[in-house]
Amino acid sequence: MAIRKIASIGHPVLRQQARPLTREELARPETQAFIDDLIETMRDANGAGLAANQVYQPIQICALEVRDNPRYPYKPNIPLTILVNPVLEPIGSETFDNYEGCLSVPNLRGLVPRHAEVRVRAWDREGRDVDHIARGISAGTYQHEVDHLLGTLFVDRVVDSKSLCTWTEFERYQLAGFVERAGAIVARYGS
Ligand code: ZN
């Protein structure tokens, strides 16, 4: 396993539409080793998720995991999840404003409207079908990661550019208010 370099905003790989994988490609040892690297790199950087094109591989694989994350202390935990060829489908029309950051957009956060509930269909790393519903703050994390595979970054979805802030100023001026709003979302959606 190895920790990979993470691409920063401005690198064209982050704007590429990632390519879907076949089950045969997914089963190859090099693809499985790549998934191990993706997980290790995500954990090393304290990411809540990491998409393959963030480590310069434009293929449709992303990892998510939240375990008492120090970058996002208000995020509910998400067990380690690998999504291959994921497709998200919004359920209902409700949205909420999520304060997002990204390992590929250093030291910037901003408010992004996200669907409150999405159906997640994908394969896991074994090629088995995944079909579940993600809700609330966790649904925002899923949408952020699947956006990466479509070549979209959270900054593209920021509606009010005045919400943009560095991590220090987020903690100084936004964290307390957002933790309260995030708590209300978690109470409502259970995640
Ligand atoms: Zn990101």
For residue 19, with 0-12 CB atoms within 10 Å meaning exposed, 13-18 middle and 19 or more buried, which class applies? middle
User: What is the 161 CA–ligand 1 centroid distance (Å)?
Assistant: 18
pTM summary value: 0.96
User: What is the 152 CA–ligand 1 centroid distance (Å)?
Assistant: 9
For residue 4, with 0-12 CB atoms within 10 Å meaning exposed, 13-18 middle and 19 or more buried, which class applies? buried
**Starting from the edge strand earliest in sequence, which strands make up the sheet with 78-90, in order?**
49-51, 61-66, 78-90, 117-123, 129-135
For residue 24, pLDDT over 90 is answered with yes
Q: How far is CA 188 from CA 81, 113, 116, 184, in A?
A: 23, 17, 10, 6
Cα–Cα distance for residue pair 183/174, rounded to 1 Å: 14
Catalytic residue flag (residue 145): yes
Give the model confidence (pLDDT) of 48-101 as tens digits: 999 999 999 999 999 999 998 888 888 899 999 999 999 999 999 999 999 999
Identify residues whose C-beta is under 5 A from ligand 1, the ion: 102
Catalytic residue among 40, 89, 94, 145: 145
DSSP state of 59: B
User: What is the 145 CA–ligand 1 centroid distance (Å)?
Assistant: 6
